[in-house]
Chain A
Amino acid sequence: MMLSWKKAIILLLGTIILFGTATVSYSAMYPVSDRWMVAHSDVIVTGKIISITSNYESDGLIWSYATIRVADRVMGITPDEVIFKYQGGTVGEVTMGVSISPKFEIGEEVLVFLKNADDGMLEITNWNLSKYTLVNGSFLENGKTYREYIDELTEIIKAR
């Protein structure tokens, strides 16, 4: 079979995106619906992760605090930058990982489901299922385009 240059490059890039970068992580999680995620969230926003810090907290675990510069407020009223927390992170030489906790990176564009924590902060709603990573206009986790998924979530929110 002969491949054109264009097709070959598309094949190469497509496969690298599919297998090489999509390290999506949902360990031993029960798959829940978007409706469930909306019902259990107080805030849903999209935007870019601009900073992450990690600390030992009073519960003896390492928590990370990510700041997202908000692009779209899908649900909830928020300032332009939102800080939310999640378990896991690195302090000095020590890393605490949780198999079901998402990993965020500075510069990533994401959609996050957040809920109010007991300490007044925002935290991720449901572990790894709280994070959708935007790459080239679509979300890695469900393959939907940015607009398509935002519209679907908006419909669910309106119908509540």
Chain B
Amino acid sequence: MMRKLSIIIAIVLLPTLVFAYVIGDGDWTYKTDPMGENIYFNPNCADGGCGSDEDQINALWQGAKAWQDWGLAEFEFPYGGTTTRNSVLYDNWNIVFFSPTSNGSAIAATYYWVSSGNMTECDMIFYDGAWNFNAYMGPSYNEFDVWDIAAHEFGHYLQLDHSPYYYATMYAYSNEGETYKRDLYSDDIAGIQAIYGMQDPFSVILETNDDSYARVFTQSGGSFSFTVTAYNNTSTGRYFRATIDLILPDGSEYGPLMNVNSVYIGPNATLTYNSTQNIPGGAPVGEYKYRARMRHTSSPYDDYDVSYFMFWVNGTAKGNMGDISYWKLPEGNFVPVYESQTPGSDGNVPGVFELKQNVPNPFNPTTNISFNLYEDASVTLEVYNIRGQKIKTLIDNRYSEIGPYRVVWDATDNNGAPVSAGVYLYKLDVGNKTAVKKMILIK
């Protein structure tokens, strides 16, 4: 009897003990576009440690990206640009700003407006009159880290309340010099997925390569580099159509600038593409939406997922787009990082090897990567970040005999330095065969 009772208690308590996130009054899920509403930043921090406007915007944006990149949930923050607005009023503007005031011992606050359960506006205020903030090179002992505080406040923006876990980004208190809230904790991820759902089975993220929030050009032209990362979160390989196009300042669609009809993505695989976009001189002035689409091959007008960021062209001339060839992307640049991947239905190569999903996953601070060799071969096992940059070599071209193998990764790079939380890929090369799997490091 007592044993049964213990089991019942364990079942009742388990969800509460594992996750303790708290959800707020509303959410943004009614928006057809993820999040739907642009966010505008006012880089008016007066503290010396805040650096330039760009430093401030970048630190704020990193706080948002903590959720966007590592929340693995179905939303994105659309950045709208800068503003000089500085009010928390219900005025149809979502803004983030620094106030030269103090308000008790508040460091920052998020004001939100909800109508019938739907978020309709959100503003974020940093009390710069009371505290020293730092947005440049990390905080000193008497400064609050803008990235760290912004990550916490953007959790509120998404309508998460506080977590009792000290290591959670949504933990209630903050102190000077603190930076650990920059990275999400498992409780944060569970909370945000509870509100917005997990990412689609197939998803794509488009980012500029310098991690910046936006690009601003003059009419003399320019360029930016970017990365498209496509995820297949299922156990089945799939072909998709990859398209990049533009929404012009007048609201019309333009392109495609790149279109690949049939890209294969293996089960639980991640593909990363890099290229550079040319902005020809004389382009029309205004706001452009740069868009990557992961689309069905059989139904080309349907998207699995869409991701975008904005860029701006400033100037005085009316301008025109010119010939589309000036905008076109060279398709040759859109090559999967792991071209040699030749997976079977489960991502492995039958008769040669079997690469298993790491355990635990997500993990911290270590995880086990196991594989079976079915023939003697030279083996290389490496860890990459989602940009395709090699982080760690765990096995370097070592001749290995048939059998099971297990390697522990301690979340450090080749220099022994700890790596930040996020999505990583581990790639096993056996002879000329390769398999890749995804793993998630949480802090």
Contacts and interface: CB of A to CB of B under 8 A. Distances in A.
B174 A29 contact: yes
A25 interface: yes
A95 to B, nearest CB: 4
A24 B162 contact: yes
Nearest to B90: A60
A82 to B, nearest CB: 20
Given A12-B9, A29-B172, A30-B175, A96 B113 contact: yes
A20 B105 CA distance: 27
Contacts of B89: 60-61
A99 B170 CA distance: 11
Given A11-B9, A20-B16, A97 B114 contact: yes
Find the residue from A5, A23, A99 having the highest chain B CB count within 10 A. A99
Contacts of B107: 28-30
Given A28-B107, A40-B104, A99 B115 contact: no
A26 B113 contact: no
A25 B21 CA distance: 12
B116 interface: yes
A157 B105 CA distance: 20
Given A28-B106, A28-B174, A125-B104, A96 B26 contact: no
B interface, size bucket:
35 or more
B162 A26 contact: yes
Interface stretch (B149-157, B312-320, B357-365, B385-393): B149-157
B24 interface: yes
Interface string B163-194: 01000000011110000000000000000000
B149 A15 contact: no
Given A3-B6, A30-B175, A95-B26, A126 B105 contact: yes
A100 B109 contact: yes
A4 B6 CA distance: 9
Contacts of A12: 9, 12-13
Contacts of A95: 25-26, 113-115
A2 interface: yes
Contacts of A8: 2, 5-6, 9
